[in-house]
Amino acid sequence: MFTEREAIKQRLKEIQEEKDRLSKETLFLLNRIRELDNVERQIELPTDVNPLDEDNKEQIWKDIQQMIESSPPIQSILNEMPPKEKNTGTNLAATSFQEERSIEEVHQQIKSFLMERREPVTRKEMKEMLKGNGLLKWASVDYVMKKVMSVDRNIRKVGRGLFEYAPPSSDEV
């Protein structure tokens, strides 16, 4: 009867034989690579390479330019590509100025809305009010509220999604 112990011993023997076969094959392949390296070393590479002189370089460059100009697809691609504009920073400054101006508008609306309500207002109500007045230009109401709270310290976040206007008390002034 064939037991599990005998099966394990047989499998170990097979693994050892496979390991021996692979090591012999590895040695054979390494020796073959060494032989090929020796053959390649014996083949001499040509050392006389003529460097391009300036006349040849200019001629090659002219030929390339002529091929580009004569090829309609390449020329049409080059003509279609708009020139790259460098970012001078003026666009960024204008954008931030516009954002500050629109934040001021939003700030005034939010301040008056919170002063009218005199109780904490939810983020959802704030979003609806801004949408109704056409002032919601940002995807996130939280982003808008962070900006507004940085402008006016009296607008505070009371709880999760709740905002209120707390006028400064007499001891803060």
- For the chain, the structural domain boundaries read 120-173
Q: For CA atoms 116, 144, 147, 103, give the dihedral sign.
A: negative
The contacts of residue 137 (CB under 8 Å, 6+ apart) are: 102
Tokens of 72: 């309609």
| Per-residue pLDDT at 21 exceeds 80 | yes
| Cα Rg of the chain, angstroms | 39
For 92-128, what is each residue's pLDDT tens digit? 554 554 455 577 777 787 788 888 877 888 878 877 8
Rounded average pLDDT over 129-148: 74
Question: How high is the pLDDT of residue 18?
Answer: 96
Q: Examine the pLDDT at 15 and tell me if it is beyond 70.
A: yes
State whether residue 113 is helix, strand or coil: helix
pTM of the predicted model as reported, rounded to 2 decimal places: 0.39
- The answer to whether the beta carbons of residues 114 and 126 sit under 8 Å apart is no
* Predicted local confidence at residue 173, as pLDDT: 47
Cβ atoms within 10 Å of 141's Cβ, excluding its own: 20
Residues above pLDDT 70, as percent of the chain? 69
Q: pLDDT band at residue 87, thresholds of 50, 70 and 90?
A: low
Q: Which residues pair with 165 in a beta bridge?
A: 155
At residue 110, what is the residue type?
I
